Structure 1
Amino acid sequence: MAAVVDFNGAVDLESLISERKQVSKGFSDFPRRFGSEREISRGHAVSVRLDVRQARLPPFLLMHGTADQAVPYQQSVNFCAQLKSAGDRCELYTIQDGIHGVIHWEENPAEHAYKAFVVNWLRTTLKFH
């Protein structure tokens, strides 16, 4: 894998579940695959939190809106900081007042700049011209 572009990604499922005290609809299949909701919420069955200290990771571009109610913006802030502290490359593109889901960003022409940013980031990161 040469690079990762993540849109509104939940990178710390354990934290996300503990904040909500339940598994959301988007993660409703996790109990069947990984254990009960109780096991998941205690972190015994699954933690999607990435341990960035185990291996070098490809460059990450995290795209996240500050008003995201589904996955807190702070998850991307924290994850990017973790990546950088481990010596990996990360850039966080912030959509001010953006909510969860790119489809919502499409509704506001002022937020369309992310498209060119992603293309330019990929060209630069992957050295395409």
Structure 2
Amino acid sequence: MKRLEDGQISRRERQVMDILFRLGKATAEEVMKELPDPPSYSAVRALLVTLEGKELVKHSKDSRRYVYEPTVPEKKAKRTALKQLIATFFEGSPEKLVASLLDPQDQKLSGEEIDRIRKLIDGKE
């Protein structure tokens, strides 16, 4: 799992991981059908092999097909992706991320959304 924590995952690899999290298990063909603007079948297989090399997925054999599934919990993958986002765009500062989300020029939060955020901050949710 070291590679996931190092942030060594491309946009396309994240898309594949999202599909595997949603489906639970999938063949390369099933992943290809779910991808936006899908690459060739061999490119999808190569992505899955790369993810397996990064220890993010594993495969089992079902007759002549390989069936892939994630090896990391979805929550951990999301947390790692968020850390990478914060490091890349917000100088590693969660406060800067929150400040950008709360920027009134970007969006208006409803009172309900603000209450939920307050509860999360206070650890009540």
Q: TM-score, normalised by structure 1?
A: 0.26
User: RCO greater where, 1 or 2, for CA within 8 Å and sep 6 or more?
Assistant: 1
* CA radius of gyration, larger in: 2
The structure with the greater share of residues assigned to helix is 2
